[in-house]
């Protein structure tokens, strides 16, 4: 959990930005307000562990933007082309990670990309049920499943605790053999 002083500094900075000035009175008022807010509304302890690695996080976000642009162009083409719409399908994609936060982030990032929509998330044995817009062939479905696994890998590399990341890597090596 983030140390309390960092939260107080952050809330005080927001306080000063809202006032649009920096004076000793506003700084003291911001600190007192921040401490009062934290006493009245304490942050709950997160039930999961995670870390944030800058380089893998940047890679994950950049790849997300690339996927977003590429999928937007593809969906736009499917909408304006003169042919009939392609068949769609719902596909089950099992996930390797069991960390609730990582599963949720993976599900959100996958669902935000046009052309696929999260229909259901199975929390018992983490799996995503995705509605895939373009399911013309088994290869199209395989690509959709592979893109979910790639997104999961990027999320694990960016956010998983070291022990979970290492276990995920070992499992991925066993599966690839």
Q: What is the pTM for the complete model shown?
A: 0.72
Task: Output the CA–CA distances (angstroms, integers) from residue 39 to 1, 9, 35, 88, in the order listed.
Answer: 16, 15, 6, 51
Residue 140 DSSP code: H
Write out the two tokens for 14. Answer: 């927001």
Please state the domain extents for the chain: 4-40, 54-176
The β-bridge partners of 89 are: 132
Put the strands of the sheet holding 127-132 in their side by side order: 89-94, 127-132, 116-122
- pLDDT, the chain, mean: 90
Spatial distance between the Cα atoms of 88 and 48, rounded to a whole number of angstroms: 35
pLDDT tens track for 131-140:
999 888 999 9
């Amino acid at each position: 959990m983030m140390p309390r002083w960092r939260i107080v500094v952050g809330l005080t900075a927001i306080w000063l930005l809202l006032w649009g000035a920096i004076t000793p009175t506003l700084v003291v008022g911001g600190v007192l307000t921040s401490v009062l807010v934290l006493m009245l509304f304490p942050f709950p302890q997160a039930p999961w562990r995670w870390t944030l690695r800058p380089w893998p996080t940047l890679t994950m976000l950049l790849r997300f933007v690339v996927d977003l642009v590429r999928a937007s162009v593809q969906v736009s083409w499917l909408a304006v082309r003169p042919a009939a719409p392609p068949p769609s399908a719902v596909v089950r994609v099992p996930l390797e990670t069991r960390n609730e936060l990582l599963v949720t982030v993976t599900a959100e990032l996958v669902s935000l990309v046009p052309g696929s929509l999260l229909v259901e998330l199975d929390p018992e044995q983490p799996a995503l049920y995705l509605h895939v817009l373009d399911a013309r062939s088994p290869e199209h479905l395989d690509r959709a499943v592979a893109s979910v696994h790639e997104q999961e890998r990027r999320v694990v590399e960016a956010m998983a605790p070291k022990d979970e990341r290492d276990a995920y890597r070992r499992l991925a090596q066993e599966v690839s053999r």
